[in-house]
Structure 1
Amino acid sequence: MRVTQSMIANQTLRHIQSNYNNISKYQNQLNTGKKFSRASEDPLSATSGMHYRTQVREIEQFQRNLSSAHTWMETSDQALYDVNTSLQRMRELTSQAANDTYDSEQRKAAAEEIGQLIDHIKDLGNTKVNNKYIFNGTDTENRPIDKSKFDITVEDPNAPPDGTMLFYEGVLYEFTDGSYQEHGIDPEDEGRTPGEIDVSKAVFFESGAISINEDDVELQMMKGVNMPINANGADIFGYEAFGELILLERSMKNADSGTEIGAHLDVLDQQLDRVLSAEANIGARQNRIMMTENRMDQQLITATRIMSDNEDVDFAEAIIQLVSHESILNASLSAGARIMQPSLIDFLR
């Protein structure tokens, strides 16, 4: 085959251009830190990279969810601890005041402190995180407790305004359609009725004093796994709980004997048990969240490493390749200059 000067020149130019392309490729890798900048350069790795990045973003979102859940539950746990502390103090005061060596002034002082503790528990029921009420289920925009509607005075205890709630002799009633109905009982069923009401032993609440949503607030901890992060406020901050505490405060002010005051100790113990149960429940879920956080941290490390292996450049290798192709280019340019030295003038000579 006849090899012409043109063929040699074209082949030399192709090799030089190829070396320029390789140098450009490795310079781009060093500039961007990535093995490829367009999917067409490595379709398989590009497709895998999209999957790995999606996985990393999912894990990061789950981590944000877990952080929010952790904050919510820590705040709930602290609020419940404060309720527990308040109830323990009430129990201590009640136990002391049940002693007949206490005079009326000492009991009134204890009643004053109990009243302040009740107000404190009301405030705890309206605890917020990120401007959301944490003890009102999924209705996080509305406060569950309206303190102004507690322990109201009604003109006629047998015919209060519609919607009035009555706590009497351990039972909660709602006045509706002209009569009292036991709260939580189907109107068609025969529930208890308060009968003749002794106002001194009755606690009235205006409609809407406590409006607690009992639905679970759930967050996705990982794909397909949801967990409730809230405590049921109705168990701790319900009408019955506050009704009993208000009656305790009254007994402190008006009781003739320590026996009447001491009768409230069992009720306080029951409330403390409910709070402790809620604290234990929150604590168990916090432990689960911590274990899930550790798992997510490990998954993120693994997913990030795999993603990096797939698309991040090996700088040492890229530098070696760049230097190698620069040397090849220089050699090609030098050889080409020698091969293509003859020109038309040289032939005419």
Structure 2
Amino acid sequence: MRVTQAMLSSNMLRNLSTSYNKMGKLQNQIETGKKVNRPSDDPVVAMKGIGYRTALEKVEQFQRNIGEVNNWLDSSDDAFDKVGSALQRANELAVKAASETTTVDDRQKVLSELDQLRQHIQNIANTKVGDKYIFSGTKTTTALFDEKSGGYPTTNIDAFNKDVEIEVFDGITLKVNTNAIDVFKNIDQMFADIKEGNVNYSEAIGKIDEQMNEILTTRADIGARQNRVELMNDRLQSQEVIATKQMSENEDVDMEKAITEMITQESIHRAALSVGARIIQPSLVDFLR
């Protein structure tokens, strides 16, 4: 086969262009720190990167969900802590009123304070996280205690007892609300019985103790769920580290290797330019020198 000057020149220019492209790609990798800057650089790496990034985004969303779960549980626990404190004060007042040395005027003052404690607990029943009532089951836009009617729901009770669940992992949901309508209704009825004289103060002490035990049971359930949330959060943090590492190993460039390849490619490119200058056919001016 006859090799012409045009063929030599064409091959030289094509090889120089390829060399420029390789240096350009290496330069982009060094500047961005990434193996691929467009899918065409390496489709396999690009597709894996999409998968790893999707997994990481899901973990981050679940972590945000965990934060919402903590808001509900912490608010519920704090609310029942306040209810427990109110019942403790009610117990002290009942013990005082049950004493034979307590006057009629003193008992009236006790009734007045018990009424304030009752209203305080009614307000706690309407605790909100953001714009949602946390003790109203799935009817999160409806207050558990209706201040206008002065009572708790008597219809559609099932909706107020339904669980509110939030997804915290693939296929795993956690109950975030506390079905407390019966707890609050029983406490309110107890205060009503004391006010109306349906129970004497000695009996009231036992009734209050029963409600305090119910509050402790409710808080124990909340605490158990809080512990599980901590375990799920630890698991999500581990998944975040794993997903981030996988994405980094897939996409991040080995900087030392890339710089070494860049230096090598520059040397090859200079050699190609030097050889190419000798291949190009001399011009008429070169012959006249």
| Secondary structure, counterpart of 1:264 in structure 2 | helix
Q: Determine the structure 2 residue equivalent to 1:96.
A: 96
Q: Determine the structure 2 residue equivalent to 1:299.
A: 239
What is the CA distance between 1:70 and its match in structure 2? Answer: 0.6
Q: Counterparts of 2:179 and 2:230 in 1: how far apart (Å)?
A: 21
Gaps (5+ residues) in structure 1? 151-204
Is the counterpart of residue 308 in structure 1 residue 248 in structure 2?
yes
What is the CA distance between 1:341 and its match in structure 2? Answer: 5.4
Equivalence map 1:23-62=2 (5 Å): 23-62=23-62
Q: TM-score, normalization: structure 1?
A: 0.77
Q: Determine the structure 2 residue equivalent to 1:226.
A: 173
Equivalence map 1:232-243=2 (5 Å): 232-238=179-185, 240-243=186-189
Q: Determine the structure 2 residue equivalent to 1:182.
A: none
Gaps (5+ residues) in structure 2? none
Q: Determine the structure 2 residue equivalent to 1:105.
A: 105
Equivalence map 1:1-349=2 (5 Å): 1-150=1-150, 213-238=160-185, 240-251=186-197, 260-340=200-280, 342-344=282-284
Q: Counterparts of 1:77 and 1:242 in 2: how far apart (Å)?
A: 19
Q: Residue type of the partner of 2:54?
A: T
| Secondary structure, counterpart of 1:101 in structure 2 | coil
Cα offsets for 1:81-125 (capped at 9, x unmatched): 100111111011111211111111211222221111111101100
CA contact (8 A) 2:183 2:214 kept: yes
| Secondary structure, counterpart of 2:166 in structure 1 | strand
| Secondary structure, counterpart of 1:310 in structure 2 | helix
Q: Counterparts of 1:78 and 1:124 in 2: how far apart (Å)?
A: 10
What is the CA distance between 1:272 and its match in structure 2? Answer: 1.1
Cα offsets for 1:25-73 (capped at 9, x unmatched): 1122233332112223222222211211111111111111111001110
| Secondary structure, counterpart of 2:59 in structure 1 | helix
Cα offsets for 1:285-330 (capped at 9, x unmatched): 0000001101100110111110111112222322222232222222
CA contact (8 A) 2:76 2:178 kept: yes
Q: Counterparts of 1:118 and 1:274 in 2: how far apart (Å)?
A: 17
| Secondary structure, counterpart of 2:200 in structure 1 | helix
Aligned pair in 2 of structure 1 residues 210, 50: CA closer, same or farther (>3 Å)?
A: closer
Q: Counterparts of 2:233 and 2:85 in 1: how far apart (Å)?
A: 30
CA contact (8 A) 1:72 1:134 kept: yes
Q: Residue type of the partner of 1:318?
A: A
C-alpha RMSD of matched pairs (Å) = 2.3
| Secondary structure, counterpart of 1:335 in structure 2 | helix
| Secondary structure, counterpart of 2:95 in structure 1 | helix
CA contact (8 A) 1:66 1:221 kept: yes
Q: Counterparts of 1:18 and 1:40 in 2: how far apart (Å)?
A: 16
Q: Counterparts of 2:182 and 2:223 in 1: how far apart (Å)?
A: 17
What is the CA distance between 1:210 and its match in structure 2? Answer: 10
Q: Counterparts of 2:102 and 2:183 in 1: how far apart (Å)?
A: 30
Q: Which has the higher helix share?
A: 2
What is the CA distance between 1:348 and its match in structure 2? Answer: 8.8
Q: Residue type of the partner of 1:334?
A: S
- After TM superposition, the structure 1 stretch with the greater mean CA deviation from structure 2, 45-54 or 80-89, is 45-54
Percent identity between the aligned chains? 40
Q: Counterparts of 2:227 and 2:152 in 1: how far apart (Å)?
A: 40
CA contact (8 A) 1:148 1:209 kept: no
Aligned pair in 2 of structure 1 residues 38, 210: CA closer, same or farther (>3 Å)?
A: closer
Q: Counterparts of 1:273 and 1:222 in 2: how far apart (Å)?
A: 34
Q: TM-score, normalization: structure 2?
A: 0.92
| Secondary structure, counterpart of 2:63 in structure 1 | helix
Aligned pair in 2 of structure 1 residues 209, 114: CA closer, same or farther (>3 Å)?
A: farther
Aligned length: 288
| Secondary structure, counterpart of 2:100 in structure 1 | coil
